[in-house]
Amino acid sequence: MAYQPAPNIAQVQLVGIVDSQMTINDLYFEISGGAIDSVNLATLTGACATWFSSVLAPMLSDDWSAQTAIGIDLTTQTGPRVIVGAAAPGGVSGEAAPNNVAACVSLRTALRGRSARGRNFVPGIPNDAITLNTLDSGFVNDLVSNYTSLVGPGTFSAGWQLVVLSRVTGGVPRANGIGFPVVSVTMTTNKVRSMRSREVGHGA
């Protein structure tokens, strides 16, 4: 399949590890007032690395740890790529839930439809934050608050806005991927969800 460009949009991969298994969460940001270059991409990726290691990691089990943030310009197939270290252990002492257990964060835009919603499956949940299959309300509130700090034009990183990247509409690939600005963050449920690809020996 031919490369599908997403002009002025950067992908930031937040890479962690738990029980020798990689975890990856993707965030997408659109730049305003100019093109993406290695300098502004490094600034965004550095901000995401700091958020990852100092905001998200402290609420997760120390069985899991943050590793790196990888910023990728999606405008062209040969755009810049930046890697920033984000090494930090989870901040909660105690066993994590199994690798596949995740909290599902929903990224909402002002538009309807599946292509206008995004998700992050957060790994490394402390067992103490789960009762049977239900997440502790304090954990849920903190998680939503931490993700909400990413929302808004220029709020998190100057010149950038968190977006949901849409590559398909009506079942048909778009000519170009487009970004819909995220306006709110929520949890569609306080129940844990499963990411089978994170089971030992699978993927991310």
Residue of 85, 53, 55, 91 lying closest to 69 (CA atoms): 85
Residue 76 per-residue DSSP state? S
Phi then psi dihedrals of residue 154, to 5 deg? 75, 0
Residue 12, Cβ neighbours under 10 Å: how many? 26
**Measured between alpha carbons, how far is 5 from 76 in angstroms, rounded to an integer?**
6
pLDDT digits (tens, 9 = 90+) for 168-186: 988 899 999 999 999 999 9
Distance, CA of 25 to chain centre: 4
pLDDT above 90: residue 15:
yes
Tens digits of per-residue pLDDT, 51-71?
999 999 999 999 999 999 999
- Delimit the domains of the chain by residue range: 9-196
Examine the pLDDT at 134 and tell me if it is beyond 80.
yes
pLDDT, residue 50, reads 98
Query: pLDDT tens, 21-55?
Result: 999 999 999 999 889 999 999 999 999 999 999 99
As beta bridge partners, residue 14 has: 25, 69
- Give the H/E segment covering residue 67: strand 64-73
Close Cβ partners of 174 (under 8 Å, ≥ 6 residues apart):
4, 166, 167, 168
pLDDT of residue 143: 98
Structure confidence by residue, pLDDT tens digits, 82-106? 999 999 999 999 999 999 999 999 9
Rounded Cα distance between 77 and 119, Å, is 24
The region, left, alpha or beta by phi > 0 then psi within -120 to 50, assigned to residue 9 is beta
Position 6 scores a pLDDT of 97
Q: How many CB atoms lie within 10 A of CB 85?
A: 12
How is residue 95 annotated by DSSP?
P
What DSSP designation does 46 have?
H
Helix residue ranges per DSSP H, the chain: 38-51, 137-148
The average pLDDT across 119-126 equals 97
